[in-house]
Structure 1
Amino acid sequence: MTIQDDMVGKHPIENDFWKWLQHEDTESSDLKRHRYLEVDSSNRDEAIKSVAAWLIKYHLSEGKKRVIRKKQEILEKHDFAEYAQSLHVFPKSDKTQKGNLGEIFLSEYLSQTSGVQILVYKLHYNPNIDQSMKGDDVLLVNPDKVLLGESKFRSTPNKRAVEEASELMKDKLTLPMSLGFIADRLFEQGKDELGEVIFDLQFKMSSIEIDIKNIGFLLSTKKVRSIVENNLSSPNSDFIFISLGMDDPAAFLKSVFDYAESNLLEGSYET
């Protein structure tokens, strides 16, 4: 077992990730803990389909799905497509698309590796879809473990991007800010018992030992591996950096949002 396995869990090898996502746990040191992920170019289309499905899941709430499903039953195909397009489910802003893609990918990956479920999809509560939401980029939590992530997207990787994805967490253990937000959403859903557990974690984090891990994430080209290896330095022993490399990340970004939008307009929005 690698240090990376111990911190965030083993890379998944028997599900959709295995088809198109390769991984390498690079050699660790006191100042560097790095897992490199790479989209397999030969399975890029599978990656686009998988990630597009995540975009729909993270942007489209169950309530909105019910309304859309009802409209789909009564509208002609062309009229339904016009209706679905008018809903503005996905951001048009390039900056927001990049931010959302990174956060969604990291959330899905960490949930797969750690087994910690995503309790609340925060983008369901975004009042302005073209602006990023404030608060923690990525937060997965259960009574025993907290995974807090900072995500960045760069078309070209560089030292500054690594620093930006690390700066909030690299020097000392960072605690989440959004536990109250998650608890409130659970209370609204009638999940009072779970909501109380999450709400109480704010106190317990300062008084008892809970496994908290900080994660920096950078999505970029395949050069990101060497950029992170050469520039990552963190004395925070609970900090790990995950990088994702692929051919032409800007084109990938456009493809996944276009595919998600197309599926929505065609009525294929169930995930």
Structure 2
Amino acid sequence: MPVFRVLGPVAVSRGGGDPAGILVAQQRALLAALLLRPDEWVAADRLVDVLWPAHAPRSPARRLSGHVFRLRALLTALTGEPRVESQPGGYRLRLHPGQLDLHVFEDLAERGRRAYIAGDPDLAALLLTEALAVWRAEPYADVPAELVAHAARGLRERRLMVHEHLVEAELARGRAEAVVPLVRGLLADTPRSERLWTQLITAYGRLERRADALAAYQQALLVLRELGPQVRAAHRLVQGA
């Protein structure tokens, strides 16, 4: 079970069990900044900017050191081992393999992708479903948005890609009926995903719901204006059915 969690509110598991959140806002921000680059040195100046984005206090290095000291003590108490290391001008958070939920998600997603390529859609669907289940909410949900905006955006795109891979695996398993509500839900949040429109039209076609498939094609045309070859190919298949 992951010890550190960023796919949702930033949290630390007490001994691998239920999350024990980092309750103080500056501790959450400091931990998030270190978890953005786990096992790498993060410059003290960068962490000062994280904790005091508008105006740094007097003696910022000393104030930062105090915050790091308290975070180090808290993480040691929660996880049972020292986590935060320091050197002149920087700090880093040490992790063991599988201790960050993001890494667990990525590992499961990659194994699922490889299983699909290898011709095992059943295993692929299982692994991809497990990967998505690691998410609890929006990434870094309780950290100031400006601190994690780039990372959070990339993670949302990666999550969408994993959903798309899952849809492909489910279609390969002959589960087109289960795919339709999933894809409809994803399109509500990401209506400009050409791949999702292609998958929806394909699913309707396999269910012999030609009218729904053609309606989805028209919706895609309204949203995207110009359609790529995959959407058009799915449309042609339905038309020729």
* TM-score when normalising by structure 1: 0.22
The structure where strand makes up a greater share of residues is: 1
The structure where helix makes up a greater share of residues is: 2
Larger Rg: 2
* TM-score when normalising by structure 2: 0.23
